[in-house]
Amino acid sequence: MRKTRFIGSLVIVLILAVALVGCGNTTPTPKATEPAKKEFKVGLVTDVGGLNDHSFNFLANKGLEKAVKDLGVTKSVVESKQMTDYETNLSRFAQDKYNLVIAVGFLMHDAVEKVAKDYPDTKFMIIDSSITDRPNVASAMFKTEQCGYLVGVMAGLLEQAPGIPNALGKNTVGLVGGMAIPPVNDYIAGFIQGAKSVNPDIKINLKYTGKFDDPALGKQTALSQIATGADIVFPIAGGTGTGVIDAAKEKKVYAIGVDADQNYLAPENVITSALKGMDVATFDIIKGVMDDKFKSGNVFFDLSNNGVSFATPIKVVPKDVVDKVNDAAKQIKDGKIKVSNEMPAGFK
């Protein structure tokens, strides 16, 4: 009997021992440490207008800031002080093995061509200039003649509209260009076509300042246009254009913003803005590189993909004018209106 009890006790001890061993095996296996996420670096080189131009440099940086927030990229920005800085600034980012280097503006074309050739393993994005012979360069191109046309239609109609406060009644508008280069002239060509399509007798006073970073010169140029009857001024001049808007505010006439919605610079005077989605293009191309979907060559942005448009007009613009501008936009999208980026005769 005792032997039976002893055997029974031994069996119980063995069962408990096995159970304890089993319990020990239930301890979770530590997870392998996930590898650290590799840093994705984007460098942006501004044109001479700098980040405070309230225009194209500002917009490109806005797209980069969105990529920092939404995609987790690491950003670095260098502001070019003069055109001779372009190559040095671009090369610095390439030497530091940035994943993408962004060049803001047509004037950087030659510098990007050279640096992209010197650093074939670095990807580049250039805004407003077509580079198609480098497999590591994407060119963001905007059909700004289309949004230029739309704000031209608005200006042409407003010059004929009765009862517009502070209108000078001279059927005259002023255009202030930075330089006679394609990204500027595309806007101007479209504006002239749009204005003339609804107001064939409109007078268009066009001046180039030769600079994108001189608000004082922009203001002086616009004041001279206003003095000769222009009650709507349209700057296509980067930072120089802020002076044009300041002149409109001072003289209580109207301005049309460019690239970004510039109404905040003079809410009672900036009737609308010709919008260029450089922030969208910058973000899209950054994301494309991150997703291994980088495409070299030209990438086009226009009315059909919301790459260009116009800002909501202020209340002084009559509803029937806004309706006609919206109709023109629809006709451009539908192919019924063809807008050329060639400068019209008399303005070349």
**pLDDT at position 220:** 99
CATH topology (fold) of 144-276+318-333: Rossmann fold (3.40.50)
Q: What stretch(es) of the chain map to CATH 3.40.50.2300? A: 41-142+280-289, 144-276+318-333
Q: According to the model, what pLDDT value does residue 348 have?
A: 73
CB atoms within 10 A of CB 266: 19
Q: What is the pLDDT at residue 300?
A: 96
Q: Tell me, what's the pLDDT at 38?
A: 85
Q: Is 119 helix (H, G, I), strand (E, B) or coil?
A: coil
In the 8-state DSSP scheme, what is residue 83? G
Whole-number Å distance between alpha carbons of 261 and 273:
5
Spatial distance between the Cα atoms of 284 and 132, rounded to a whole number of angstroms:
19
pLDDT averages per 10-residue partition of the chain, 348 residues: 44 41 48 68 96 92 98 98 97 98 97 98 98 98 99 98 94 98 98 98 98 97 98 97 98 98 98 97 97 97 96 98 99 98 91
**178-193 b/e with 16+ CB inside 10 Å = b?**
bbebbbbbbbbbbbbb
How would DSSP label each residue in 231-299? EEEEEESGGGHHHHHHHHHHHT-EEEEEES--GGGSTTTEEEEEEE-HHHHHHHHHHHHHTT----EEE
Please state the φ and ψ torsions of residue 145, each to the nearest 5 degrees: -60, -25
CATH of domain 41-142+280-289: 3.40.50.2300
End-to-end alpha carbon distance in the chain? 120
According to DSSP, the residues that pair with 141 across neighbouring strands are 300
Tell me the pTM.
0.86
